[in-house]
Structure 1
Amino acid sequence: MLIRLHFIHSLTFITLLISGLFLYITPTRTWFNKVQIPLVSVHVVTAVIYIVIILLSIRFLLSYTFNKPLIKKFNGYLILVFASLWIFSGATMYFQSSLPIVIRNNAVIIHDWCTFLFIPWVLTHSIGHFLHIRISWPKWWRTKAPLPDALQENSLQRRDFLKFFGIGILFVAIGGYIKWFLPTLSISSNEDKRRGYFRIYNVTDDFPRYEDTDWSLTINGSVNQTTVLTMDDVPLFPETTIVDDFHCVTGWSVHGVELKGVLLKDVFDHLGLTTSGKYVTAYSGDQTYYDSFTTSQILDEGAMLVFEMDGQVLKKTQGYPCRLYHPSMYGYKSVKWLSQLEFSKERELGYWQKSGGYDLNGYL
């Protein structure tokens, strides 16, 4: 029974690890979005199966390791500790909308670090089994030999201490190295990681190249006049700057982001625009992504057209030259490369409402 559970556990864990890394790495996450494979759902369903396996395995694991060498106990208990951290942090991320920001942010950090710190152990464990490589552990660690006097007296020998300490530091260093440098494709080189970093999520593997073509924003539908804004029109409107925390529905946040642009209410007031539509759909210039709002959310709740972030013009991956931003909503409502605002009397479901079951309003 334990052998079967071990096999199922290994298969499920590898699926979780690979799907989690694919979600973490921008190009792979984008590819799965493009081919419409619900990777988030796959990861969540696999996680539920993994939890069931862990619960079924605990009694067998404790019974199996009771009279086994220390290395067997260490491997079993290490898996239980990391599994517990993954489960609790993952559950926190899944139900994060009802939890304080500090808790869900720390849950993301714990979930990430557990994964990357565990990768060296997975590689060592797997390669060792497949290639039948054995590390020259002390006899008392890998067999049921009696403990040496030094250990019984709680006094490690210098050689044993250096070996365990060195391997521990090596694993932490490898996992930390991967964790620290892997997101560099998603962030600028000078970003302060202490306040968090943006994980770039796109639904296509490319984006509009507005440095090569002129950008414009069309406001149409149930409005008194169809209007097309260009970059030349932006200085006509009052400039607004806010400092806000940017939150993603997956749990991560970036604190103290400076956003500069113009309020949509100011655009409407300055141009004398009115609308009879109760809803508005915001379309991205990537020709794929879109989301919807009530007209009140767009005009009365501080929604803005953002052109600069942290004192710099938006980067291409951040939605250059213009993205929509609502200060009380999650990042998936912040449509990048904004190209059209279409007002209507009926509300459209957004991209992630259709593809991922996200909340229609997306309030924090």
Structure 2
Amino acid sequence: MNKRKLYFWMHLLHGVLILLLILSGAVLYIDYFRILFVDFKWQIRELHTVIGFIYFAIVLLILPIVLPYVKAHRRWQKTFHICLMVSLALGWTITGLILWINPTSYLGLRQLSLTVHDFLSVFILIWVAGHILLWFLKKKKLYQPTPILNNHDRDKGMLVSRRDVVLLFSGGLLAILLGGLFRWFRPVSDSFLARLDEMKRRGYFRIYSVRTENPVFDPQTWRLTVDGLVENPVELSFDELKKLPKHTYTHDFHCVTGWSVLGVKWEGIPFQEVINLVGRKPEGKYIKMYSADRIYTETYEWSQLTQKTAMLVYNLDDKPLIESQGAPLRLFQPDMYGYKSIKWVNRIEFVSQRDLGYWEEKEGYNLDGYIS
């Protein structure tokens, strides 16, 4: 195989791997695709991880072949693209490994890794879009790339053409001017900037759902049923529920997929109050919770919900839960990952045998979900 064909196939392989990473990442991140492929999300996540490792390995393998080509042509565009690809591969691999290991003991590192991983993923979309645009313009003969410099120019030390220099510095100057205009006109409010700053500091909730519509909360008809192996089964309206002793607790929220939200204020009823209200029978060793969406369930040992900080929450950060956060009622167990804090709770059943919850069955997550 001659060098021209070799470079073509390497370029094609690189493009295919980038495309697969973008597509699998989109399925894991975008709500519509997560819902559409919910039965295969675990396999897609594994595929995304494997492709990421393959991409990094391929970049390292072809680097010794590509570097002589770049050195021979001495074009700054080629050098820039090679450096960019190596940086992307390195950045994705390091941050992906940290998210895969999911080290909650190094929360700042994990948050930074998630931010960098997201930024690189958005950047590659822009880079791909730019490549497609340039290909289209060259196809229509609306853009002509800078010709390779001849030996005379190289001998004079000219590694880039005048047009390259003008484009590079003009683009940089334009970015600076636009940034200055943005700060001058301030097209967004101070309150929005304050919320944005808080989001960067605390993190933000990424809502995972398997339905296109969330359960609708009607205060007049909503009821919480507590039954099963108890002495006194009850059915509580939302007003009756809020009359039970409440507790406020500030604690971080950790998702098993790697992201966190820091310093969340939770307000609700300690689950022990529910146990006291209904009277657990000795054979009721486990608790099964049901969601109003009729899909999610979660199970626990009853002793896992007896500390005061394990709560049925109805307020978050001094505001009532919104629909996507599980309104009107969700569980919060601070020692466990977020998938154990089931949303839209409308039934609690005390049982003698423990089943798998939704995420344990579909995703293979740990039954107890303790944060390591």
TM-score, normalised on structure 1? 0.83
Alpha-carbon distance change, 99 to 242 in structure 1, aligned in 2, over 3 angstroms: closer
3-state SS in 2 of match to 1:66: helix
* Correspondent of 1:238 among 237, 245, 258: 245
* C-alpha deviation, 1:64, in angstroms: 3.0
Counterpart residue number, 1:178: none
Asked whether 1:327 is paired with 2:334, we answer yes
* C-alpha deviation, 1:261, in angstroms: 0.4
Q: Contact 1:203–1:289 (CA<8 Å) still a contact in 2? A: no
Asked whether 1:82 is paired with 2:88, we answer yes
* C-alpha deviation, 1:51, in angstroms: 3.0
Asked whether 1:62 is paired with 2:70, we answer no
3-state SS in 1 of match to 2:264: strand
Q: Contact 1:219–1:228 (CA<8 Å) still a contact in 2? A: yes
* C-alpha deviation, 1:3, in angstroms: 2.8
Unaligned runs of 5+ in 2: 1-5, 181-187, 189-193
Q: Which moved more, 1:157-166 or 1:61-70?
A: 157-166
Counterpart CA distance in 1 for 2:205 and 2:125 is 23
* Correspondent of 1:27 among 27, 32, 35: 32
Alpha-carbon distance change, 15 to 205 in structure 1, aligned in 2, over 3 angstroms: same
Q: How many residues are matched?
A: 346
Counterpart residue number, 2:134: 128
Q: Contact 1:223–1:276 (CA<8 Å) still a contact in 2? A: no
Counterpart residue number, 1:94: 100
Counterpart residue number, 1:344: 351
Q: Which runs of 4+ in 1 moved over 4 A?
A: 133-140, 142-145, 147-152, 166-173
* C-alpha deviation, 1:136, in angstroms: 6.5
* Correspondent of 2:16 among 11, 14, 17: 11
CA-atom RMSD in angstroms: 3.3
Counterpart CA distance in 2 for 1:135 and 1:12 is 27
Q: Contact 2:230–2:278 (CA<8 Å) still a contact in 1? A: no
Unaligned runs of 5+ in 1: 174-180, 182-188
* C-alpha deviation, 1:251, in angstroms: 1.2
Counterpart CA distance in 2 for 1:193 and 1:86 is 23
3-state SS in 2 of match to 1:220: strand
Q: Contact 1:93–1:251 (CA<8 Å) still a contact in 2? A: yes
3-state SS in 1 of match to 2:154: coil
3-state SS in 2 of match to 1:306: strand
Q: Contact 1:281–1:341 (CA<8 Å) still a contact in 2? A: yes
Asked whether 1:357 is paired with 2:364, we answer yes
TM-score, normalised on structure 2? 0.82
* C-alpha deviation, 1:317, in angstroms: 0.6
Choose 1 or 2 for highest CA Rg: 2
Counterpart CA distance in 2 for 1:23 and 1:166 is 37
Counterpart residue number, 2:45: 40
